Amino acid sequence: MTPEPIKAFIARFARLPAIGPRLATRLAFYVATQGEQTIVELAAALQGLATLDLCPQCFTLKPRSETTCAVCSDPTRTPRVVAIVERDTDRMALERTGRYHGRYLVMGELPERGVLEPEHRRRLTYLADRIRRDAGGKIDEVIIAVGLHSFGDLLAGLIREEFQGLAKKITRLGRGIPTGGEIEFADEETLCAALERRG
Protein backbone atom coordinates (compact mmCIF):
# COMPACT_ATOMS: atom_id res chain seq x y z
CA MET A 1 0.00 0.00 0.00
CA THR A 2 1.22 3.48 -0.87
CA PRO A 3 1.25 5.85 2.13
CA GLU A 4 -1.38 8.60 1.98
CA PRO A 5 1.17 11.48 2.05
CA ILE A 6 2.85 9.99 -1.05
CA LYS A 7 -0.53 9.69 -2.80
CA ALA A 8 -1.40 13.29 -1.91
CA PHE A 9 1.97 14.53 -3.21
CA ILE A 10 1.54 12.62 -6.48
CA ALA A 11 -2.02 13.87 -6.96
CA ARG A 12 -0.92 17.51 -6.54
CA PHE A 13 2.34 17.44 -8.48
CA ALA A 14 1.01 15.34 -11.38
CA ARG A 15 -1.17 18.34 -12.35
CA LEU A 16 1.85 20.59 -12.90
CA PRO A 17 3.05 21.27 -16.46
CA ALA A 18 5.57 18.74 -17.81
CA ILE A 19 5.44 16.55 -14.71
CA GLY A 20 2.62 14.01 -14.95
CA PRO A 21 2.00 10.97 -12.69
CA ARG A 22 5.24 9.09 -13.39
CA LEU A 23 7.60 11.98 -12.61
CA ALA A 24 5.42 13.04 -9.66
CA THR A 25 5.77 9.53 -8.23
CA ARG A 26 9.55 9.58 -8.61
CA LEU A 27 9.73 13.03 -7.00
CA ALA A 28 7.53 11.95 -4.08
CA PHE A 29 9.71 8.98 -3.21
CA TYR A 30 12.93 10.92 -3.75
CA VAL A 31 11.87 13.82 -1.51
CA ALA A 32 10.51 11.46 1.16
CA THR A 33 13.91 9.75 1.44
CA GLN A 34 15.95 12.97 1.72
CA GLY A 35 15.17 13.57 5.37
CA GLU A 36 13.08 16.00 7.33
CA GLN A 37 15.35 19.03 6.78
CA THR A 38 15.03 18.80 2.99
CA ILE A 39 11.25 18.45 3.27
CA VAL A 40 11.02 21.48 5.58
CA GLU A 41 13.15 23.55 3.18
CA LEU A 42 11.04 22.52 0.18
CA ALA A 43 7.84 23.31 2.08
CA ALA A 44 9.23 26.76 2.98
CA ALA A 45 10.17 27.40 -0.67
CA LEU A 46 6.65 26.46 -1.79
CA GLN A 47 5.10 28.61 0.95
CA GLY A 48 7.22 31.52 -0.22
CA LEU A 49 5.44 31.45 -3.57
CA ALA A 50 2.27 32.54 -1.75
CA THR A 51 3.94 35.91 -1.04
CA LEU A 52 3.97 36.78 -4.77
CA ASP A 53 1.38 38.46 -6.94
CA LEU A 54 1.29 40.08 -10.39
CA CYS A 55 2.82 43.44 -11.22
CA PRO A 56 -0.11 45.70 -12.18
CA GLN A 57 1.90 47.20 -15.07
CA CYS A 58 3.50 44.22 -16.83
CA PHE A 59 1.86 41.17 -15.19
CA THR A 60 5.11 39.51 -14.14
CA LEU A 61 5.40 37.96 -10.69
CA LYS A 62 6.68 40.24 -7.94
CA PRO A 63 6.77 40.31 -4.12
CA ARG A 64 3.36 41.30 -2.76
CA SER A 65 5.09 43.90 -0.57
CA GLU A 66 6.30 45.83 -3.68
CA THR A 67 4.01 48.13 -5.67
CA THR A 68 5.51 47.13 -9.04
CA CYS A 69 8.19 44.69 -10.20
CA ALA A 70 11.89 45.57 -10.26
CA VAL A 71 11.87 46.29 -14.02
CA CYS A 72 8.81 48.59 -13.96
CA SER A 73 10.17 50.52 -10.98
CA ASP A 74 13.68 50.90 -12.47
CA PRO A 75 14.07 54.50 -13.73
CA THR A 76 16.94 53.46 -16.03
CA ARG A 77 14.65 51.20 -18.10
CA THR A 78 13.04 52.86 -21.09
CA PRO A 79 9.23 52.76 -21.07
CA ARG A 80 9.28 53.57 -24.80
CA VAL A 81 10.26 50.02 -25.80
CA VAL A 82 8.10 47.10 -24.67
CA ALA A 83 8.73 43.40 -25.27
CA ILE A 84 5.58 41.28 -25.27
CA VAL A 85 6.42 37.81 -23.96
CA GLU A 86 4.36 34.75 -23.20
CA ARG A 87 5.82 33.67 -19.84
CA ASP A 88 7.90 34.97 -16.95
CA THR A 89 10.56 32.46 -17.99
CA ASP A 90 10.78 34.17 -21.42
CA ARG A 91 11.26 37.53 -19.68
CA MET A 92 13.99 36.01 -17.51
CA ALA A 93 15.73 34.64 -20.61
CA LEU A 94 15.75 38.06 -22.29
CA GLU A 95 17.05 39.66 -19.08
CA ARG A 96 19.97 37.20 -18.99
CA THR A 97 21.24 38.60 -22.31
CA GLY A 98 22.00 41.96 -20.67
CA ARG A 99 21.13 43.56 -24.06
CA TYR A 100 17.52 44.51 -23.49
CA HIS A 101 16.74 47.66 -21.49
CA GLY A 102 13.04 48.22 -22.12
CA ARG A 103 9.91 47.13 -20.29
CA TYR A 104 7.73 44.03 -20.66
CA LEU A 105 4.20 42.77 -20.95
CA VAL A 106 3.73 39.14 -19.88
CA MET A 107 0.77 37.68 -21.80
CA GLY A 108 0.38 34.41 -19.94
CA GLU A 109 0.39 30.91 -21.46
CA LEU A 110 -0.83 31.13 -25.05
CA PRO A 111 -3.08 28.41 -26.50
CA GLU A 112 -1.80 26.32 -29.42
CA ARG A 113 -4.96 26.93 -31.42
CA GLY A 114 -3.78 30.44 -32.27
CA VAL A 115 -6.44 32.53 -30.55
CA LEU A 116 -6.22 35.12 -27.81
CA GLU A 117 -8.17 34.35 -24.66
CA PRO A 118 -10.08 37.15 -22.85
CA GLU A 119 -7.25 37.54 -20.28
CA HIS A 120 -4.65 37.95 -23.05
CA ARG A 121 -6.82 40.59 -24.73
CA ARG A 122 -7.31 42.36 -21.39
CA ARG A 123 -3.55 42.61 -20.89
CA LEU A 124 -2.95 43.87 -24.44
CA THR A 125 -5.74 46.43 -24.03
CA TYR A 126 -4.21 47.58 -20.75
CA LEU A 127 -0.85 48.18 -22.47
CA ALA A 128 -2.50 49.96 -25.41
CA ASP A 129 -4.44 52.21 -23.03
CA ARG A 130 -1.25 52.96 -21.09
CA ILE A 131 0.54 53.95 -24.31
CA ARG A 132 -2.30 56.29 -25.22
CA ARG A 133 -2.46 57.79 -21.71
CA ASP A 134 1.18 57.96 -20.58
CA ALA A 135 3.28 57.99 -23.76
CA GLY A 136 1.44 60.49 -25.91
CA GLY A 137 -0.21 57.78 -27.97
CA LYS A 138 2.94 56.22 -29.43
CA ILE A 139 6.08 54.50 -28.15
CA ASP A 140 9.29 53.78 -30.06
CA GLU A 141 8.97 50.00 -30.38
CA VAL A 142 6.87 46.98 -29.53
CA ILE A 143 8.90 43.76 -29.72
CA ILE A 144 6.78 40.64 -30.21
CA ALA A 145 8.80 38.00 -28.36
CA VAL A 146 6.61 34.90 -28.60
CA GLY A 147 7.74 31.44 -29.73
CA LEU A 148 8.74 30.93 -33.35
CA HIS A 149 6.26 28.25 -34.38
CA SER A 150 3.10 28.21 -36.47
CA PHE A 151 0.67 29.29 -33.76
CA GLY A 152 3.24 31.81 -32.51
CA ASP A 153 3.25 33.33 -36.00
CA LEU A 154 -0.54 33.58 -35.97
CA LEU A 155 -0.55 35.18 -32.50
CA ALA A 156 2.22 37.59 -33.53
CA GLY A 157 -0.04 38.76 -36.36
CA LEU A 158 -2.92 39.34 -33.93
CA ILE A 159 -0.65 41.26 -31.53
CA ARG A 160 0.72 43.34 -34.43
CA GLU A 161 -2.85 44.36 -35.35
CA GLU A 162 -3.54 45.44 -31.75
CA PHE A 163 -0.60 47.89 -31.76
CA GLN A 164 -0.75 49.35 -35.26
CA GLY A 165 -0.40 53.10 -34.87
CA LEU A 166 0.74 52.84 -31.23
CA ALA A 167 4.44 52.25 -31.94
CA LYS A 168 6.91 53.67 -34.45
CA LYS A 169 8.14 50.11 -35.01
CA ILE A 170 6.56 46.72 -34.35
CA THR A 171 9.24 44.04 -34.57
CA ARG A 172 9.56 40.33 -33.93
CA LEU A 173 12.56 38.51 -32.54
CA GLY A 174 14.91 37.50 -35.35
CA ARG A 175 15.24 33.93 -36.51
CA GLY A 176 18.33 33.30 -34.42
CA ILE A 177 15.92 31.05 -32.52
CA PRO A 178 15.08 27.92 -34.54
CA THR A 179 11.54 27.51 -35.82
CA GLY A 180 9.58 25.61 -33.20
CA GLY A 181 11.98 26.77 -30.50
CA GLU A 182 10.92 28.12 -27.13
CA ILE A 183 12.45 31.41 -26.00
CA GLU A 184 12.97 30.30 -22.39
CA PHE A 185 15.30 27.46 -23.52
CA ALA A 186 17.47 29.56 -25.86
CA ASP A 187 21.00 30.38 -24.74
CA GLU A 188 22.13 33.99 -24.26
CA GLU A 189 24.11 34.13 -27.52
CA THR A 190 21.13 32.95 -29.59
CA LEU A 191 18.82 35.42 -27.84
CA CYS A 192 21.28 38.26 -28.40
CA ALA A 193 21.30 37.42 -32.13
CA ALA A 194 17.50 37.26 -32.15
CA LEU A 195 17.27 40.68 -30.48
CA GLU A 196 19.75 42.20 -32.94
CA ARG A 197 18.03 40.67 -35.99
CA ARG A 198 14.50 41.52 -35.01
CA GLY A 199 12.41 42.95 -37.78
Q: What percent of the chain has pLDDT over 90?
A: 65
The three-class DSSP label of residue 123 is helix
Do 148 and 132 lie in one domain? The reply is yes
Do 126 and 39 lie in one domain? The reply is no
Q: What is the number of structural domains in the chain?
A: 2
Domain of 25, CATH number, reads 1.10.8.420
Per residue in 161-199, pLDDT tens? 889 999 999 998 765 555 556 777 777 766 776 676 665
As a 3-state breakdown, the chain gives helix, strand, coil percent values, each rounded to 5, of: 45, 15, 40
Do 46 and 136 lie in one domain? The reply is no
Per residue in 28-52, pLDDT tens? 999 999 999 999 999 999 999 999 9
Domain of 114, CATH number, reads 3.40.1360.10
Range of 28's domain?
4-50
Do 89 and 147 lie in one domain? The reply is yes
pTM here?
Answer: 0.79
Do 21 and 93 lie in one domain? The reply is no
Do 83 and 100 contact (CB within 8 A), yes or no?
yes
Do 55 and 69 contact (CB within 8 A), yes or no?
yes
User: Could you tell me the pLDDT band of residue 156, with boundaries at 50, 70 and 90?
Assistant: confident
Rounded CA gap, 123 and 59, in Å? Answer: 8
Per residue in 118-128, pLDDT tens? 999 999 999 99
